[in-house]
Amino acid sequence: MNDAMHFFCRSGLRLAFLFSFVCFWTPRSGVAQCAGTASTPGSASECAAHALPSTKIAVLDPKVVYTLAELIDIAERNNPRTRVVWEQAKQKAKQLGIEKSAYYPVLAGLAVFADQRTITPFPESLLPRGYSTVEIPLIQPEITLQYLLFDFGKRGAKVDGATAEKLAAGANFIQANQEVAFSVATEYYKLLTAQERLQAAQETLKTAQTTQDAAEDQLANGRSTLPDVLNARAETSQAVFDLESADGDEKISRVTLTEAIGVEPSPDITIDAQKDVPLPESLTRSVDELIERALSDRPDLMAQAAEIRAADDAVRAAEAEYRPKIVLSGSAAQTAIWPTADNGLLGYANVTTWSAELGVEWQIFDGGARKNGVAIAQSKRREAQDVMTAKHDQATREVWRLFLSAPH
């Protein structure tokens, strides 16, 4: 019974520390498809912009003994949620490239092949029919240019907003991997607890069987009573039931762990029990230090701070709609025509034509569209600020709860 109590106390202490330090764990070795490079929101988003997704799904080998770190690495590469946020981070990175493209001119090529016939009225004194018909075949390859020179900060606001959203996506990417790692670690330690409970149940059954055998021998020698033997048999039966229950829970924990990893659910998994790893006796940080670290390192708070910056930039972009735009436009073409008329010959032309224009566009009235756009952007900014406040308070409460529940 002492061995059983030792197993339960050790597993309970392990779970307490799991909840106290995994919440503040930030993977420095890398996350998901960007292993080895993505440890900050910026590096995660940059990696997602250029890396190719992994298409190979991992398969666990029941003959291999997996450590917790290996299982977390497999989960970060195969769990559906990490793959989804990886694609979202990639999309935000590409959106930033789209917004930056507004600073460049737009060149377009156009080729026109046309044939036009027109009718022109004439006095009957000049033409008996009173009209003249002209047919004009046309070939015109053309290049056009459109260049927005100045827009009073609208493009800059959109680029800044896209940059903030890119960082937010990178932080969400890291957050998703942390949550997957936390889930795998939780199920990993639950499996360890189930295995130790199974071992404790086996030891308890051995003790109960030994006690029953001793009672049976004493009864046969006249040194025990039948009620003593019946009690020993009942304890053995209870120990057998507990062993079967512990065995079933251990198999369920194996399946649950594979589900958390993101591979095909199966009980065929072998883990490193880490029985020789020493456990800390108490937390080494004060609650104020833990709160400060949580507020500075948690990816969800980083992501929300970036969302607030993106909302500020969206307000700037919406307000810039009230200002004018200065646009340079032009075109160059080679025009070839050879018209014919029913009343005589016309000249043939094959010349270069061009145009250039510097325009100022200022929208004076739009029926309230810009006003409503600014109001929506301001509302989203206030929403992002309120969400930040709520997450800040939640993080503080979580640290306090975990700190108070852990041994000191």
Say how far residue 276 (Cα) sits from the centre of its chain. 36
Looking at residue 105, what is its pLDDT?
A: 93
Rounded distance between C-alpha atoms, residue 61 and residue 269, angstroms: 7
Domain harbouring 154, CATH code? 1.20.1600.10
Closest of 225, 190, 175, 188 to residue 26, by C-alpha: 175
Report the distance separating Cα 271 and Cα 182, nearest Å: 17
Q: Report the distance separating Cα 59 and Cα 261, nearest Å.
A: 11
Residue of 52, 262, 297, 70 lying closest to 174 (CA atoms) = 297
d(CA 133, CA 137): 13
Q: Report in angstroms the alpha-carbon separations of 333 from 111, 316, 354.
A: 9, 39, 6
Q: How many other C-beta atoms can be found within 10 angstroms of the C-beta atom of residue 117?
A: 11
Q: Six-digit token pair at 142? A: 């053309």
Q: What pLDDT sits at residue 176?
A: 86
Tokens of 273: 């029990």
Structural domain count, the chain: 1
Nearest in space to 340 (alpha carbons), one of 139, 118, 127, 125 = 118
Q: Among 324, 309, 254, 294, which Cα is nearest to 394's? A: 294
For residue 261, what are the domain limits?
2-405
- Range from 30-34, 104-108, 146-150, 380-384 carrying the lowest mean pLDDT: 30-34
| Mean pLDDT computed over 378-388 | 91
Find where tokens 């029985």 sit. Answer: 275
**What are 178-232's pLDDT values in tens digits?**
888 888 989 998 999 999 999 999 999 999 999 988 888 888 887 878 888 889 8
The pLDDT confidence band at residue 53, using thresholds 50, 70 and 90, is: low
pLDDT on residue 279: 56
* Cα(81)–Cα(178) distance, integer angstroms: 11
Q: What percent of the chain has pLDDT over 90?
A: 34
Quote the Cα angle for 16-20-21, to 5°: 125
Mean pLDDT across the chain, nearest whole number? 82
pLDDT in tens, 151-189: 988 999 999 999 999 999 888 888 888 888 888 989 998
In the structure, what pLDDT confidence band is assigned to residue 317 with cuts at 50, 70 and 90?
A: very high
pLDDT at 310: 92
Query: pLDDT per residue over 346-381, tens digit each?
Result: 888 899 999 999 999 898 988 899 999 999 999 999
Q: How confident is the model at residue 67 (pLDDT cuts 50, 70, 90)?
A: confident
Query: Is residue 12 pLDDT above 50, yes or no?
Result: no
Query: What percent of the chain is modeled with pLDDT above 70?
Result: 85
Q: Which residues, in sequence order, are CB contacts of 77 under 8 Å at separation 6+?
A: 32, 33, 35, 54, 58
The pLDDT-based confidence of 2 (bands split at 50, 70, 90) is: very low
What tokens were used for 372?
Answer: 């409503």
Q: How far is CA 191 from CA 100, 101, 213, 323, 348, in A?
A: 50, 52, 33, 63, 89
